[in-house]
Amino acid sequence: MNRAVFFGFFVLFIGLITFNGITVNAKKSGEDITYTKHAQPIFEKRCAVCHNRMPGTNWMKYSNAYRKRVKILNRVSIKRDMPPVGMPIEESERELIKKWVDGGAKE
Ligand code: HEC
């Protein structure tokens, strides 16, 4: 294979990777982040142990989560003291909660 042909394939290859990357990202950011599909499962998994017994801050109910969405954003994604130290949560889940609130905390 001569160098020009090799270079041609190389450029094509990089182009394909970049193109795929862009389409995947566009899909991700275009998708609506909703309570039902995204936030509620995180609340269920990471917060229910404590909050399902706390009236007013039972995040398993959309009305509560929506009313306190700014506080949730603050404690989970900014101050990061919820869930309390020692309780498990993923970085991606903190980000998803932020995206949910930033996107209008849709149901
Ligand atoms: C280990 C138990 C526990 C877990 C797990 C937990 N919390 Fe809490 N949370 C508390 C307690 C206790 C309070 C009340 C004291 C305080 O504000 O720090 C509280 C308070 C809060 C408040 C403030 C409510 C208000 O009206 O001011 C928010 C918001 C909150 N939690 C969000 C969450 C979210 C979201 C999760 C899951 C990602 C979570 N918490 C997980 C125990 C927990």
Using most ligand atoms within 8 A of CB, pick from 38, 50, 70 the residue to mutate for ligand 1: 50
CB of 75 within 6 A of ligand 1: the answer is yes
Q: What is the DSSP letter of 52?
A: T
SS3 at position 90 = coil
What does the pLDDT look like over 66-76, one tens digit per residue?
Answer: 999 999 999 99
Residue 18's domain comprises 1-31
Q: Nearest-5° angle of CA 96, CA 97, CA 102?
A: 95
Structural domain count of the chain: 2
What value does the mean pLDDT take over residues 78-107? 98
Kindly state whether residues 87 and 45 are assigned to the same domain.
yes
Ligand 1 centroid to residue 39 C-alpha, Å: 15
Per-residue confidence band for 85, with pLDDT thresholds at 50, 70 and 90: very high
Kindly state whether residues 7 and 46 are assigned to the same domain.
no
Closest CA to 103 of 44, 32, 14: 32
Q: Are the CB atoms for 97 and 43 separated by under 8 Å? A: no
Whether 107 is in a domain gets the answer no
What does the pLDDT look like over 3-57, one tens digit per residue?
Answer: 776 666 666 555 555 555 554 444 455 679 999 999 999 999 999 999 999 999 9
What value does the mean pLDDT take over residues 85-101? 97
* Residues 6+ positions from 82 with CB-CB distance below 8 Å: 47, 72, 75, 76
Cα of first residue to Cα of last residue in the chain, in angstroms, is 57
Kindly state whether residues 96 and 44 are assigned to the same domain.
yes
pTM beyond cutoff 0.75: yes
In this predicted structure, what is the pLDDT of residue 47? 98
Ligand 1 centroid to residue 78 C-alpha, Å: 14
In this predicted structure, what is the pLDDT of residue 2? 72
Kindly state whether residues 10 and 62 are assigned to the same domain.
no
CB of 48 within 6 A of ligand 1: the answer is no
